[in-house]
């Protein structure tokens, strides 16, 4: 089971250490003391908290903007069969779902609450413009 120190949890959630402590004190985020007597948060609980509190930033255009190619986050779900695995992550306000081999998921130790990085490489990118009529350009 993965555990995260308050400062690590804060970095993953994009908030201050004090905000994490307030959520712990309010009973919204369960915690315990590790062997060094440091306050730590269970990775599974942190992943669920990240998922339930994720809010996308305000965007005046109303369109999601491209994210960076490396998204750090917490694994929130892994569904495996004999061949493939569906891995879901919460990366800040972004939910990322990937299909990888079950063997790779096992070798990487992917399970809810584990820290992981989603690396996005795409040869097909859709670009949209909100509220603008399509224009035909004749050549």
Choose between 88 and 137: higher pLDDT.
88
- Entry pTM: 0.59
Backbone angles phi, psi at 111, to 5 degrees: -160, 160
Work out the number of other CB atoms within 10 angstroms of the CB of residue 95. 14
Tell me which residue of 60, 56, 66 sits closest to 127, measured CA to CA. 66
Residues 49-104: pLDDT tens digits?
Answer: 998 887 654 444 454 445 447 788 899 999 999 999 999 999 888 899 999 999 99
* C-alpha distances in Å from residue 30, one per residue of 33, 74, 100: 11, 16, 31
Residue 99: CB partners within 8 Å, gap ≥ 6?
84, 85, 86, 87
Tell me which residue of 24, 1, 23, 20 sits closest to 9, measured CA to CA. 20
The mean pLDDT of 5-22, rounded to a whole number, is 93
DSSP state of 14: T
Question: Would you place residue 107 in the very low, low, confident or very high pLDDT band (cuts 50, 70, 90)?
Answer: very high
The domains of the chain, with CATH numbers, are 3-49 (1.10.1660.10), 70-119 (2.40.50.100)
């Amino acid at each position: 089971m993965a555990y995260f120190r308050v400062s690590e949890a804060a970095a993953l959630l994009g908030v201050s250490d004090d905000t994490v402590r307030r959520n712990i004190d309010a009973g919204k985020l369960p915690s315990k003391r590790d062997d060094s007597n440091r306050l730590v948060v269970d990775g599974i609980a942190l992943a669920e908290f990240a998922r339930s509190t994720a809010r996308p930033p305000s965007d005046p255009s109303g369109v999601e903007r491209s994210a960076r190619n490396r998204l750090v986050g917490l694994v929130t779900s892994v569904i495996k069969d004999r061949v493939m695995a569906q891995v879901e992550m919460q990366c800040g306000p972004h939910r990322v779902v990937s299909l990888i081999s079950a063997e790779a998921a096992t070798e990487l130790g992917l399970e809810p609450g584990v820290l992981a990085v989603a690396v996005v490489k795409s040869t097909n990118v859709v670009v949209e413009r909100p509220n603008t009529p399509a224009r035909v350009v004749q050549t």
